[in-house]
């Protein structure tokens, strides 16, 4: 089976470009150019150089000795948390800002939930001297004040999304509306592996550097490129897409996707899309999404703003439906505990998103000889307030 996008923009039955005609020229321009631009030697050289000198790649593949001892298996952490701006998000924004420049765009828009993608976008816009407008739900602005301040310091304009539930979903709607109204000079940097084709594929390819590095790093440390498992948390799914990419067709590598169960999958307050979602259309693609039986998109819940999204990227929907990936769902409580464990055992404060991926070790038993690579997608600085309140620190 093919797990990559086909020439019509679909992963199995998922994907495509379900967009209003107003967006057609923008998306079509991108579709016709993205692969050509990405494979140009100049582009590749500039991308690689920025990833190395500016982002700080390669990110370490760290053998977590004490964590491994606790769970009696071999756990490696892919340290995306050590990237500039503190998460994997910047891999994609570096790629897309270079793409935007090649396409002659002068104005950048983005959506953000917790603010990580917004900060990563504001960062590359400052780097390239381009105008940057970030849409962020009014509620998220209130609960993520440090990231709002970061974006402003980096020169971005942060526009509150006041419609609907005033969170990530609505920020995305507002960014799309901006793009409709500014079709010529503007590039929309989508932050996850979602949106109309070619976005899921383009974002995945920019994030694929994660698994490209894991391959040679694991070869150095374990003498083999392929682990037994790759594990990543999934909201829209960009760090997961990058972590899986070079292993999608390696049959001996098991893929585990970890969603946010919130207060529990059946609690009515959850973001476990693979269990609670149904096929439908959100933000320009056909995928699994949480919705009423009438087709209205519903509000997800997770303590982690980065996983608090009612859909999942179309590639992941396909990995789920085809059975290629095992989907697990971890609650707020499980994730918070796993996060604190990592602090005590390894001296690493993880983002709450990444803590969901770490939480599976309490649920699932691995063999002592198994090599399990977990994407540590971000650092926990942004979540300090959450950790403080949760643990009464």
Partner 1 sequence: MNRINKKLSEDKKLLSIYFTAGYPNIDDTVSIIQDLEKNGVDMIEIGLPFSDPLADGPTIQASSTQALKNGMTTEVLFDQLKEIRKSVNIPLIIMGYFNPMFQYGVEAFCKKCQEIGIDGLIIPDLPVDVYHEQYQAIFEQYRLRNIFLITPQTSDERIRYIDSISNGFIYMVSSASTTGSQTGFGDEQTNYFKRIADMKLINPQIIGFGISDNETFTQATQYAKGAIIGSAFVKHVTQEGSKSIDSFVKTILN
- For binding to partner 1 (CB under 8 A), which residues are involved? 16-22, 24-25, 163-164, 169-170, 173, 176-177, 180-184, 278, 280-284, 291, 293-298
Structure tokens given for 153: 């310091």
Q: Which of these is catalytic: 111, 174, 259, 353?
A: 111
DSSP symbol at 157: E
Determine the straight-line distance between the first and last CA of the chain, rounded to whole angstroms: 49
130 contact partners, CB below 8 Å, separation of at least 6? 97, 100, 101, 105, 106, 107, 108
The b-or-e profile of 95-121 (16+ CB within 10 A means b, else e) is: bbbbbbbbeebebbbbbbbbbbbbbbb
Rounded CA separation 198/280 (Å): 18
The closest alpha carbon to 57, from 36, 87, 83, belongs to 83
Nearer to partner 1, 110 or 151 (CB): 110
**Residue 142 near residue 305 (C-beta atoms within 8 A):** no
Q: How far is the CB of 278 from partner 1 (least distance, A)?
A: 8
Q: How far is the CB of 145 from partner 1 (least distance, A)?
A: 26
Q: How far is the CB of 189 from partner 1 (least distance, A)?
A: 18
Nearer to partner 1, 29 or 370 (CB): 29
Give yes or no: 377 in active site: yes
The secondary structure element, H or E, covering residue 62 is: strand 61-63
137: helix, strand or coil = strand
Q: How far is the CB of 4 from partner 1 (least distance, A)?
A: 21
Nearer to partner 1, 24 or 387 (CB): 24
Give yes or no: 375 in active site: no
Q: Is the four-CA dihedral 300, 135, 34, 26 of positive or negative sign?
A: positive
Nearer to partner 1, 105 or 150 (CB): 105
Give yes or no: 304 in active site: no
Q: Which of these is catalytic: 74, 89, 286, 337?
A: 89
Nearer to partner 1, 44 or 278 (CB): 278
Q: Which of these is catalytic: 80, 302, 377, 382?
A: 377
Q: How far is the CB of 177 from partner 1 (least distance, A)?
A: 5
**Which sequence positions are flagged as catalytic?**
89, 111, 377
């Amino acid at each position: 089976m093919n797990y990559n996008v086909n020439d019509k923009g679909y992963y199995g039955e998922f994907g495509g470009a379900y967009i209003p005609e107003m967006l057609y020229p923008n998306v079509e321009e991108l579709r016709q150019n993205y692969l050509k631009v990405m494979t140009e030697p100049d582009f590749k050289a500039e991308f690689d150089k920025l990833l190395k000198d500016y982002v700080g790649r390669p990110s370490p593949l760290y053998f977590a000795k004490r964590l491994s001892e606790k769970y009696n298996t071999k756990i490696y952490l892919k340290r995306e948390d050590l990237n500039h701006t503190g998460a994997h998000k910047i891999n994609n924004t570096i790629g897309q800002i270079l793409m935007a420049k090649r396409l002659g765009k002068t104005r950048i828009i983005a959506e953000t939930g917790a603010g990580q993608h917004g900060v990563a976008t504001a960062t590359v816009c400052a780097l390239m001297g381009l105008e940057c407008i970030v849409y962020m739900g009014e509620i998220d602005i209130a609960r993520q004040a440090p990231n709002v301040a970061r974006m402003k310091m980096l020169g971005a304009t942060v526009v509150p999304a006041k419609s609907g539930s005033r969170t990530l979903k609505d920020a995305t709607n507002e960014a799309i509306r901006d793009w409709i109204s500014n079709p010529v000079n503007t590039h929309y940097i989508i932050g996850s592996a979602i949106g109309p084709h070619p976005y899921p594929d383009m974002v995945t390819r920019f994030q694929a550097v994660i698994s490209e590095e894991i391959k040679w790093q694991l070869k150095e440390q374990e003498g083999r490129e392929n682990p037994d498992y790759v594990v990543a948390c999934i909201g829209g799914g960009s760090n997961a897409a990058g972590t899986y990419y070079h292993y999608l067709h390696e049959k001996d590598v098991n893929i585990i996707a970890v969603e946010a169960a919130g207060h529990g999958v059946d609690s009515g307050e959850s973001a476990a899309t693979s269990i609670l979602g149904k096929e439908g259309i959100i933000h320009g693609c056909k995928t699994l999404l949480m919705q009423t039986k009438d087709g209205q998109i519903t509000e997800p819940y997770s303590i982690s703003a980065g996983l608090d999204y009612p859909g999942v990227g179309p590639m992941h929907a396909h990995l789920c439906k085809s059975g290629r990936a095992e989907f697990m769902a971890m609650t707020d409580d499980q994730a918070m505990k796993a996060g604190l464990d990592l602090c005590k055992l390894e001296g690493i404060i993880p983002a709450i998103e990444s803590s969901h991926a770490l939480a599976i070790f309490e649920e699932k038993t691995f063999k002592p000889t198994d090599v399990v690579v977990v994407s540590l997608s971000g650092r926990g600085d942004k979540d300090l307030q959450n950790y403080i309140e949760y643990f009464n620190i």
